[in-house]
Amino acid sequence: MSSPLIEGLRSVAFDVPDLALAETFYTEVWHLDVVDRTATTLYLSGTGKDHHLLALHQAERLAIRDVVLRARSASALNDIAAQAIVQGGKVLSAPTASLQPSGGQEVVIADPHGRIFRVVHGDQQRTEASTQADRPIRLAHAVLNSHDVAASQQFFETVFGFRLADRTRIMAFLNCDTDHHTIAFGDADNDALNHVAFLMSDIDSVMRGGGRMRDAQHPIEWGPGRHGPGNNAFNYFIGPFGEVIEYTAEVEQIDDSYRAGGPEDWTWPAGRVDQWGISQPPSKALKEAQKSVFFIPVNG
């Protein structure tokens, strides 16, 4: 079920109001490493191959700048740019050399709803990639709210070559590689960021992360539990600026034999919100945070 154009999710970039606080939280508590920096931007890596998973930019308020995907080829950048225009999007930056420290080539587009996607190819990757307990390896997925999930799904399928993995009553899960989903769109009355998930090595690391976050005054807002679509274990938190972040593990791996399910395939008994039946529903604070972080305005 892999996309012919996109290899996977590389990173996400945020504007944050306090870069020093961001560095302390995402290194000491969330367990990422600083891999590069400028006076106004911080680049943070996991233990996997990606140069960075987060780019954090000093700004007045929290916002999401872009979601970064990695292309399978240089030619895919031109294909994506051309198809984005056909599908009602905008090309904010034509294929060119990237100015980010990870290098490579990139194209930047916006979908019709104003979400910004940076697609890179030939970016620097780490040779010392590893899997370490209690530390994020890579991004697992990003979930975006949508006031029109069908349109958002169609744009991703047409422009990026994603395919539908599963459709529940409230969410469309989209696949580009062997992970069950890399991007998902949640039914909403807004187009905010829902959350970003970081892949951990195992369930034990997801749970230890929950304890570490609680010690740092960031309680588990949803979890522990195991999702239906994707089969992944989870703990959700609210970061220091209001961003929703997730530790996850054991994401289901799928191939062309996987049958996409519909809402009738993903139902829970009354009172349950996960496979195990032990998780409480998402907190009120989490639900509010999941609709409060928006993309920066599109220029051009």
Distance separating alpha carbons of residues 147 and 192, to the nearest angstrom: 9
Are 172 and 289 within one domain?
yes
Within 13 Å and on the Cβ side, how many CA atoms surround 160?
34
Are 90 and 159 within one domain?
no
Domain that holds residue 51: 6-121
CB 205 within 8 A of CB 249: yes
3-state secondary structure of 244: strand
Distance separating alpha carbons of residues 249 and 293, to the nearest angstrom: 24
- Backbone phi, then psi, for 58, in 5-degree steps? -65, 130
Rounded to the nearest 10°, the torsion over CA 289, 290, 296, 297 is: -110
Q: Tokens at residue 61, please?
A: 């308020």
Per-residue DSSP letter, 88: T
Distance separating alpha carbons of residues 36 and 55, to the nearest angstrom: 9
How much is the pLDDT for 1?
Answer: 62
**How many domains, the chain?**
2
Whether 39 maps to a domain, the answer reads yes
List the one residue out of 290, 216, 222 whose CA is nearest residue 27. Answer: 216
How much is the pLDDT for 300?
Answer: 56
Are 117 and 190 within one domain?
no
Are 162 and 285 within one domain?
yes
Are 112 and 221 within one domain?
no
Whether 114 maps to a domain, the answer reads yes
CB 7 within 8 A of CB 176: yes
Place of tokens 């961003």: 243
Burial zone of 5 (CB within 10 Å; 0-12 exposed, 13-18 middle, 19+ buried): buried
Whether 127 maps to a domain, the answer reads no
Are 145 and 46 within one domain?
no
Amino acid making up residue 205: S
Are 59 and 187 within one domain?
no
Residue at which a domain ends, from 72, 93, 121: 121
Per-residue pLDDT of the chain (300 residues; tens, 9 = 90+): 689 999 999 999 999 999 999 999 999 999 999 999 999 999 999 999 999 999 999 999 999 999 999 999 999 999 999 999 999 999 999 999 999 999 999 999 999 999 999 999 999 998 888 899 999 999 999 999 999 999 999 999 999 999 999 999 999 999 999 999 999 999 999 999 999 999 999 999 999 999 999 999 999 999 999 999 999 999 999 999 999 999 999 999 999 999 999 999 999 999 899 999 999 999 999 999 999 999 999 975
Are 203 and 230 within one domain?
yes
Are 97 and 17 within one domain?
yes
Whether 101 maps to a domain, the answer reads yes
Are 108 and 148 within one domain?
no
Are 116 and 145 within one domain?
no
Whether 153 maps to a domain, the answer reads yes
Are 45 and 86 within one domain?
yes
How many separate helices (H) and strands (E) can be counted in the chain?
5, 16
Measured CA distances, 32 to 12, 20, 37, 142, 200 (Å): 14, 14, 14, 17, 12
Paired sense of beta strands 183-187 and 138-146, if any? parallel
Whether 179 maps to a domain, the answer reads yes
Q: Which residues pair with 146 in a beta bridge?
A: 187
Whether 133 maps to a domain, the answer reads no
What is the length of the chain? Answer: 300
How much is the pLDDT for 62?
Answer: 98
Q: What CATH number is attached to the domain comprising 87? A: 3.10.180.10
List the one residue out of 152, 168, 184, 158 whose CA is nearest residue 251. Answer: 184
Whether 210 maps to a domain, the answer reads yes
- Return the ∠ at Cα 103 (arms to 102 and 104), rounded to 5°: 125
The torsion region of residue 31 among left (phi > 0), alpha (psi -120 to 50) and beta comes to: left
